[in-house]
Amino acid sequence: MKEADQSREGLLSSYDKAERTPMRKSLENAYRSDSDSDIDATDFLDRDPLNDQSQPAVEAYGPSRELANLRRVFARRSRCFFAILTILMIFWTVIAFGGFFLYRKAPKDGLSPPWYPTPPGGTSLKWQDSYKKAQVLVEKMTLAEKVNITTGTGWQMGLAVGNTGPAIHVGFPGLALQDGPLGLRFADNATAFPAGITVGATWNKELMYLRGKAHGLEARLKGINVLLGPCVGPLGRMPAGGRNWEGFGADPVLQGIAGALTIKGIQEEGIIATIKHFVGNEQEHFRQSWEWGLPNAISSNMDDRTLHEMYGWPFQDAVKAGVASVMCSYQMLNNSYSCGNSKLLNGILKDELGFQGFVQSDWLAQRSGVASALSGLDMSMPGDGLMWGRGNSLWGPELSKAVLNGSLPVSRLNDMVTRVVAAWYQLGQDDKSKFNGEGPNFSSWTSDRIGVINPGSPDDHDEKVVNQFINVQGSGADAHSIIARQVATEGIVLLKNEGILPLSKDGWPLSENREINMRVGIFGEDSGAGRGPNACVDRGCNQGTLGSGWGSGAVEFPYLTPPGEALVSAFNKDRVYVTDFPTNDPPLKQTPVILKQQDVCIVFVNADSGEGYMAYDGIRGDRNDLYAQKGGEGLIVKVASGCGDGEGSTIVVIHSVGPVVVDGWIDLPGVKAVVMANLPGQESGSAIADILLGNVNPSGKLPYTIGKSLEDYGPGAKILYYPNAAVPQQNFSEGLYIDYRHFDKEGIQPTFEFGFGLSYTTFEYSNLVVTEVLPKSALPAARTPGIDPPTYDDKIPDVSEALLPEGFRKLKKFVYPYITKTSDIKKGSYPYPVGYEIKQAPSEAGGDEGGNPDLWNTYATVSMDIKNTGSITGKEVVQLYLGFDRVQGAAKEVDFPRSVLRQFEKVELESGERQTVHFNLTRRDLSYWDVVQQNWVMPTEGSITIKVGASSRDFKLTGWY
């Protein structure tokens, strides 16, 4: 088997079509590639972190299966191998030289201006008590303890995927950080919740919150301090993006509301939530230095308005919700690494958005030492530096040196530490009745009961109980499987129904008095269990039914109910004869009776993707296209054409990470219904059976647009599969126009629009009322100053505070804060980054968590009535969009999308029942980001159109503000 390059988010493991070993056991011999990168010119380290580090030989992956097959062929022939190696070297050399010219063609706004120094935390009243407590603790810490808290201990140095050192003398524990967005990665006896994209498809605010709360509780009971989720970046600019499924949909408002409610649920359980990835991580190809054979990651280049109104919008919601941690992303933003981008972290996140918690790096996303600290990074994860599993940290002892030699202000380190400790207090983790300080009760690295705490070190031979196998899934009425099933069911979207659904568990209607039983045939590998949901490490293969994508956002399934099995059980066996063919290649030619005898055929197909550190079936992270995979489209055509000898009805069920093009088969006469089931998690079969048999009325709505082709989404929606420069450049020149906004602008008719979803009942909209609460005004109120942050004695400490204690036994590769000798400290004049001396004026868009408080004031309310005019109980998602087509004056010259989502509400109605739905529209909802005034501006002349309806193209009522 061939070893795949690993990232954290992610682990090295081998992937082929043979049997996999159990996930964590397979990691015992895993290692990172010796990945490295160039260092920022301003990293100011006293030594060159590249000393004694060899340059890796990393295989560059292309997007096609053909290239993967070629690589396997060439690997068997040494002569061909060396020939190919030479060709690749020439290729990358050409790319490097050609990239210089391409780099110069990058847009002028592809530069990130400096913003220094880092605004201190502790300026919000909501955090005042936590910062006071943190100040008392931090004042007592030694330099080594402060560095311990801000630097990870190293890859596989601790039981969690990320671990910090403790401040023992003041009683502050090391923190355990664990993936991920849909459950606890590498944990046993924990719930595999539906993925974020399924949560978004529910459009159900209550379920968004409840799923987060259950997730937070499981993390706490497993001994985790920091949960690495939810995920709102990628936003979904590219429909084939590998990790879109971890987020909630291709719209900033949907992402923002779902993310904020998830954070609320997680943090109510005392767990520090981490909103990620900040910002612009929209594709997997070239997202990380060296992962794809290039020394630098891709640069996502976007203008200021696009950043604020699109990619930054959900992060603003998260900060407003009180999120305690933000994870900066791997790639560059405007040609500056996100974890070292001072404008992004200092200027936007900490000043303008008023973020009070700590910024942590994605695993090895930190690319510089002092420079990243000055730019606003507060915690380095996992602590290793530029290379995996070496222990050569960019911080750790180097951070101690930087403070002692004066190249990093003591005030910056104090703020870094205080932000972490304040977050710990803010979430009540000092409460010993909920947090015992003993850390995780499970190991991320082995499934055995006994193991070592630090398997990444060859020196750790001290075996202990590392897995206590504590079940955190809840039981009875409190079982988290109930929430998981509700989310999976309400996240199913009915796309087409020509009267075939819902099916009856009893088969033919009794009124028809048929003498023979109904025959139902179930087809497709996606209907079955395959080799089990945990057959592949980090779910890194597509086999059996698809419950989640792959990568660090995936989890171990405690179980996964296959759809075929659930449907067989759900039908009345005395009246319905069900046969299940869980394969994409049933013997239809050899045994045509398989199809001819069916009255109803249900076809299951899927499309998978995940994180870019692993590849499967020619797909490395990002999908290669938008079609069903593994011959799914051909299977649909065969079944639909032959079901019941052409007289039967075919139902297609799709499990997918995102949009799937359906136009090649959806209009076939035999295709009577199509269901998009997204990624349902462990309750997959139960959920789809509930919908198909009418136990639950379908109420899901699409969290993205389904176009007729990838071309329909526009040039900006295409993955950059091959580098266009030494530093690949990805220009977000489409600005605000992604997904439905692009389709609206270009007048393209989608197959199914954003927000679309059918029901088994019908609804009537009426009586729209728009009420002005506050008068329009162009700019928000003046920024409020906030409270004073903690202050410290910022004198450089004595070198003794960082010296290695006498007799201390160090583990190899473990990251410690200690220096070994005083001669390591070389004091002198250290240059600071360009722009460091410029005094930055606080943003008028700031003032508290989430920005200027006036942005969150309600300026208008909207109410309307909705009635269930059908015969059964059902839920409807009422969606509110704004249009700026009637504004006048200067704002009229500003480019606005035709419609933008601003609010939604899901309502359950019995047959004949009517309810009134209320919406609040805030100043931010009614504003746009003005790049000149650097503030949110509300158009005051003319009127803003308010559109209420059932999708982005199905508006029932219109009003104006």
Give the residue numbers marked as catalytic. Answer: 362
User: How many C-alpha atoms does 487 have within 13 Å on its Cβ side?
Assistant: 35
Strand extents, DSSP E, 336-379: 336-337, 358-361
Q: How far apart, in whole angstroms, are the C-alpha atoms of residue 310 and residue 296?
A: 25
Residues 6+ apart with CB under 8 A from 22: 447, 534
User: 256 and 300 in contact (C-beta within 8 Å)?
Assistant: no
Task: Give the orientation angle of helix 128-139 with respect to helix 410-426, to 10 degrees.
Answer: 130
Is the preceding peptide bond at 797 cis, omega within 30 degrees of 0?
A: no
- Backbone φ, ψ for residue 720 (5° rounding): -85, 95
Q: How far apart, in whole angstroms, are the C-alpha atoms of residue 218 and residue 190?
A: 7
- Backbone φ, ψ for residue 731 (5° rounding): -90, 120
Q: How far apart, in whole angstroms, are the C-alpha atoms of residue 193 and residue 342?
A: 36
The number of beta carbons lying within 10 Å of the beta carbon of residue 723 is 24
Q: How far apart, in whole angstroms, are the C-alpha atoms of residue 913 and residue 858?
A: 29
Residues 6+ apart with CB under 8 A from 573: none
Helix/strand/coil (H/E/C) assignment for every residue in 106-131: CCCCCCCCCCCCCCCCCCCHHHHHHH
- Provide the token pair at 258: 């779902």
User: How many C-alpha atoms does 779 have within 13 Å on its Cβ side?
Assistant: 12
Q: How far apart, in whole angstroms, are the C-alpha atoms of residue 415 and residue 350?
A: 12
The number of beta carbons lying within 10 Å of the beta carbon of residue 229 is 29
User: 194 and 684 in contact (C-beta within 8 Å)?
Assistant: no
Q: How far apart, in whole angstroms, are the C-alpha atoms of residue 148 and residue 575?
A: 67
Strands 299-301 and 332-333: parallel
CA dihedral 710, 491, 483, 24 (to 10 degrees): -20
Residue 494: enclosing H or E segment and its boundaries?
A: strand 493-497
